[in-house]
Structure 1
Amino acid sequence: MTAMSGILPPELILEILSWLPVLSLMRFRCVSKTWKFLISDSYLVKLQLERSFRNPHILLLATQGYKNPCFLARLCSLPCLIQNPAPYFCGRTLRCPRPYKYLFGSCNGLLSLHKSLSTKEYEEHWVCFWNPATKNCSKPSPRLRLNFGTGVRNCIHFGFAYDDRKDSYKVVAMVLDPSTRQTNVWVYCMGDVCWRRSLMTSPAFLPLDSNGYSVNSTVNWIGISFQEPKKPNFFSYDLNNDTCRCLSVPEFGSKNSGFPAMGVLNGCLCLSLDIERTMIELFALKDVRDERSWSLLVSISYETLNISPYSYKLRILGMLGDLLLLAYSNWDAYTILITFNLKENKVERTRTYKKKFLNHIFSCHYVPSLLPI
């Protein structure tokens, strides 16, 4: 490195290093103090992150166990997984640092982890941030204490996102109080000394997915508003201005009879709707702040997907070019991963797993990064 720095300007050295994978850069940091200083440069960290987005990965998250559930996180290359939907052969398992068992979000290479404590009078929740590439983990956040009041437990759901205006990473906790039918939104910003209650909404909103989906400095959940209990909506919290909106899903009349599911494809919020147990329609929201920007991505019949009308919880996992990766469960205790070719309107390959491996599967995007914690 010393010889190279005498020949090449620092900007060019950083440009060359930015094309290397994070794991290689982490090894090079151990060579000398000069290498460690150079690879810790904020410009290199930012440039390397931008390059990492060209090689998409996803985290497959699945619950294991029933009495004491924990989450299994499997890191997979999206191109590899779509070509061969077999996580055991094209990915590696990420084991959360103790004592955390629940991973609920990914953003720019950082993962957010959750732990809780419950008594008869209250429950406490705290989070931390983990970079598996650098193996660094933050200290636990302050605890968010929720009192039961009338004895009815709260329903709490988490989301993790990056606030681009304030250059900060934030955890959003949506807390439903069943006794008052109100939803409180609490926000924790990395490095803060406490949680901040951002707002309170009424009527309440009940998410159908535990984890919020992050798009363009917003966290979004699909669910049911107590104001319109017969129609699914999605709840969107905007980190830029600490506001929330309850937005409508695409118009589909009264035909929807299944489980609506949300996902993120190519930076857009996506929604899958089950139409009378015969069709799956996938919609994309071009602008997450404009509910008029919904567009139909594809409509696929159960017959084309070769799935039973008794299947449930179809989920959007990822997309690469014309290839779409989907997952669903059936009543025979199996989870099936499907690669579907949108251009040719056909299933290319499937893979079946016992639910003890992939139970309640969902996914989030991941890019390895050198971001410090």
Structure 2
Amino acid sequence: MTTLPCEIVNDILSCLPPKSLQRFKLVSKPWGSLISDPNFVESHLRRAYTISQGDHNANLLRVGQIGGILYQSGDLGWALYHMNSEGLNRKVVMIEHDDFARCIDLAGILGTCNGLFLVLIITRPSKMCILWNPSSRKCKTIPPYHVPSDMALVISGLGYESSSRNYKGVVVYSPCTPWTSQGAYGNKEFLCLVYNYKNNSWTRKYESDYDLFDFSHSWDVATVNGVPHWCVFRIDQQNFSKTYLIVYFDLENENFKVLVGLPEWGIEEMKFHLGVLGDCLCMSVLSQESLGGTEVWAMKEYGISESWMKLFVIPHSSTRLWPLCFRGKKEVLIAELDEEGITYSENLLIFNLKENTLRDFSTHDNYSRGFHFFTYVASLVSPEEHENQL
């Protein structure tokens, strides 16, 4: 039997899903070494991103409290629920950990990048953070961070610094009572904490520059090219006027920087949300006064304000809609937001680009409490060398 050249074997393996590759590690030592090699992992990731764009292979994950799944105490259990954009391969993974004997009070996703999730788990005595890959179901417990009890989380994200092959997480907290006596945010002090994967530690950062931004309405993180982005506004200290900006977290210098200001159509009177669609930053815009529907725009050239392009309009939509991913060339998977623009409804929608129609896409996940959906690509990125199982 003729042996295939190594280049062809590598190419074939790089096309396979992570679940299969995890099994193929056991075929032989050379295959195990190849699949575990960081260069192969990055090559597989690049191909996964290419395949997922405009394809039916996008994956979705949400975290919430599952009805009907009870611990012995009678409390509802928190779970991670994932599926692909076709609604197939649905799976519920209960969040449990040996470090905590009591039930989980709250769980949330702080950020995602390259198929890896940063998850915050709060229990009655304390809290913990984990890095988790839903494709391989491998996780790593990382040190928890500590903040004053009078501060609340306003934004978070996870990014990848490619030059050092290092993942970094960022969380920003603000006082629970943000408004000053003048009704402005000028004297507000934000607390930023940064997680460094290589050092496996959190670093606190108090910087006056953060006070120039208001993060309080920036729930939505959009990760492009491994960098997390948010929409914030800057306060003019003279007249307290607001200017909306898209900022990103510089992973190398560990500070926030302005990418661009919002275009003319992204005015204060509109309800808008930042996201990612087709590997580009996108914004869904709903005018508070107009019945024209929801406009979806994409920044075709990263960092260039003039490159915003209107992709499509969802007509007659009176609620906040947020595109999650394309389904082929004809459809877009849409999430419906509540009035505060913070959480999603239980089900998703599908918008047909050619027919301009919406239809329901039921998730059937039976959540009594639920949070945002996140899209991700299936990857081999491992939380650590010796993984725990979740």
TM-score by length of 1: 0.76
Aligned pairs (5 A) from 1:332-351:
335-342=346-353, 344-347=354-357, 349-351=359-361
Deviation at 1:159?
Answer: 0.4
Counterpart for residue 274 of structure 1? 286
Matched residues in 2 for 1:364 and 1:186: separation?
A: 22
Q: Secondary structure at the match of 2:43?
A: helix
CA deviation map 1:172-213 (0-9, x unaligned): 112223385122332111131432245621134134353522
Cα 1:175–1:265 shift into 2, 3 Å: same
Cα 1:133–1:338 shift into 2, 3 Å: closer
Deviation at 1:334?
Answer: 5.6
Residues 213 and 232 in structure 2, CA contact (< 8 A), matched pair in contact too: no
Deviation at 1:158?
Answer: 1.5
Counterpart for residue 372 of structure 2? 362
Counterpart for residue 4 of structure 2? 8
CA deviation map 1:337-368 (0-9, x unaligned): 222222x2511532357896386653333222
Cα 1:288–1:184 shift into 2, 3 Å: farther
Counterpart for residue 248 of structure 2? 236
Q: Secondary structure at the match of 1:139?
A: strand
Counterpart for residue 228 of structure 2? 219
**Code of the aligned partner of 1:249:** L
Is 1:327 equivalent to 2:335 in the alignment? yes
Residues 220 and 230 in structure 2, CA contact (< 8 A), matched pair in contact too: yes
Residues 182 and 203 in structure 1, CA contact (< 8 A), matched pair in contact too: no
Counterpart for residue 186 of structure 1? 193
Deviation at 1:335?
Answer: 4.2
Counterpart for residue 262 of structure 1? 274
Cα 1:139–1:354 shift into 2, 3 Å: closer
Counterpart for residue 262 of structure 2? 249
Residues 329 and 336 in structure 1, CA contact (< 8 A), matched pair in contact too: no
Cα 1:359–1:339 shift into 2, 3 Å: farther
Counterpart for residue 110 of structure 2? 104
**Code of the aligned partner of 1:346:** N
Gaps of 5+ in 1: 81-86
Counterpart for residue 387 of structure 2? none
> How large is the Cα RMSD of the aligned pairs?
3.6
Matched residues in 2 for 1:245 and 1:91: separation?
A: 38
Matched residues in 2 for 1:330 and 1:288: separation?
A: 29
Matched residues in 2 for 1:358 and 1:238: separation?
A: 37
Residues 61 and 362 in structure 1, CA contact (< 8 A), matched pair in contact too: yes
Counterpart for residue 169 of structure 1? 167
TM-score by length of 2: 0.73
Matched residues in 2 for 1:25 and 1:265: separation?
A: 28
Q: Secondary structure at the match of 1:45?
A: helix
Deviation at 1:268?
Answer: 1.0
Cα 1:108–1:92 shift into 2, 3 Å: same
Q: Secondary structure at the match of 1:130?
A: strand
**Code of the aligned partner of 1:299:** V
Residues 223 and 229 in structure 2, CA contact (< 8 A), matched pair in contact too: yes
Deviation at 1:265?
Answer: 0.4
Matched residues in 1 for 2:377 and 2:267: separation?
A: 39
CA deviation map 1:140-159 (0-9, x unaligned): 23x322235xxx33334320
Deviation at 1:255?
Answer: 7.6
Residues 234 and 248 in structure 1, CA contact (< 8 A), matched pair in contact too: yes
Counterpart for residue 83 of structure 1? none
Matched residues in 2 for 1:323 and 1:183: separation?
A: 40
Cα 1:255–1:28 shift into 2, 3 Å: closer
**Number of residue pairs matched by the alignment:** 342
Cα 1:255–1:105 shift into 2, 3 Å: closer
**Code of the aligned partner of 1:252:** W
Residues 284 and 295 in structure 2, CA contact (< 8 A), matched pair in contact too: yes
Matched residues in 1 for 2:326 and 2:315: separation?
A: 19
Matched residues in 2 for 1:209 and 1:72: separation?
A: 25
Counterpart for residue 72 of structure 2? none
2:321 to 305, 311, 314: 314
Residues 262 and 316 in structure 1, CA contact (< 8 A), matched pair in contact too: no
Deviation at 1:273?
Answer: 1.4
